[in-house]
Amino acid sequence: MQNDITHRAYFLIPPEVQLLDIAGPIHLFYEANEYGAQFENHYLSLNPGTEEISSAGIALAKLEPFWNFTLGSHDLLFIPGLESHLFFAEDFKRKNQHFFRWLREQCQNNAKICSVCTGTYLMAFAGLFDGKSCTTHWKYFRDFKTRFPQVKLLSDRLIVKDGNLYSSAGVSSGIDLALFLLEEIYGPVFATKIAKEVVIYLRRTENDPQLSVFLQYRNHIDNRIHQIQDTLAQNLDKKLKIEELAENSHMSPRNLTRVFKKTTGITIGDYLAKLRIEHALQLLSNGTKVNAVSLACGLQSSNQLRSLLKKHTKSLPSQLRE
């Protein structure tokens, strides 16, 4: 993990907060810190006072007033869902103008503002989504479109990112959103470790932002195959033999080949090729020399790299065009 910047993660706790909306992301960031990330967490109240009661009746205490903080480009703010009678109330927008003004200021400071479920309403009331794309809980699509016609609501998405604004479809998708953000900040290998730690089954639709291949094909609970995938991802510069992988996973080469394909839906060879391609493209985009990229991907020459990319991508990077 190369990112050594301390990030601040803020979690708004509104009245009658939906517990899973906020508890899921909080736990993901807790696990991230356990694995070496640097998040300084703060829990904010929407109203004066240091305690709120969740929709499930559990009290959440020691909250800090949102107006005491100014966020920056390295900071994140999670806005969870709350009971609909609150944001449907005629005076909700007026009563929370101070918060909406503050929210617009944090957005202008380029902080990452993230909604879970009906937390989208709070961002929309603040005008953050005007002319932008977002998603929310399926049960509120019709009402949301009516209230905010200037917003492009995407109904077939689990997660939507538009600039520094993020939204997720509802409840447990806040966990997916937290993982998505961890991947952005610390990279796919780190996010994979957190997903494995909390036994997350990565859920995305075909229209969602493209996941890194380091996170794809992990929607299973076979720990032996997870270990093989980790070994491949962390040793792309080495020539790993199938016999060695099989021995480390206590399987025969033939059985490993069969189980890997059955579990992930892809062969070991194709999976390794995808890992190498993504790593190579990332290094090339960062200006790494072609020969160094080839070695980092376990290839013997730039010709091998060129052949691999030519076979699996639509166009070659400029550095490899003849």
Asked if 169 contacts 115 with a C-beta cutoff of 8 angstroms, the reply is no
pLDDT in tens, 170-202: 778 889 899 989 988 998 778 888 888 887 755
The predicted structure's pLDDT at residue 283: 85
Q: What is the band of 90 on the pLDDT scale with cuts at 50, 70, 90?
A: very high
In sequence order, which residues have a C-beta less than 8 Å from that of residue 127 and are 6 or more positions away? Answer: 100, 104
Q: Please state the domain extents for the chain.
A: 7-193, 279-320
- Comparing C-alpha atoms, which of 38, 30, 29, 28 is closest to residue 1? 38
Domain boundaries 7-193, corresponding CATH code? 3.40.50.880
Percent of the chain with pLDDT over 70: 93
Indicate whether 315 pLDDT > 80.
no
Q: What's the average model confidence in pLDDT over 102-119? A: 96
pLDDT digits (tens, 9 = 90+) for 11-66: 999 999 999 999 999 999 999 999 999 999 999 999 888 899 999 999 999 999 99
User: How far apart (Å, rounded) are the C-alpha atoms in residues 241 and 238?
Assistant: 9
pTM equals 0.70
pLDDT digits (tens, 9 = 90+) for 126-156: 999 999 999 999 899 999 999 999 999 987 6
- Give how far Cα 255 sits from Cα of 51, 124, 179, 251, 266, Å: 55, 53, 32, 6, 14
* pLDDT tens per residue across span 195-243: 888 877 554 443 444 456 776 787 676 889 988 998 998 899 998 999 9
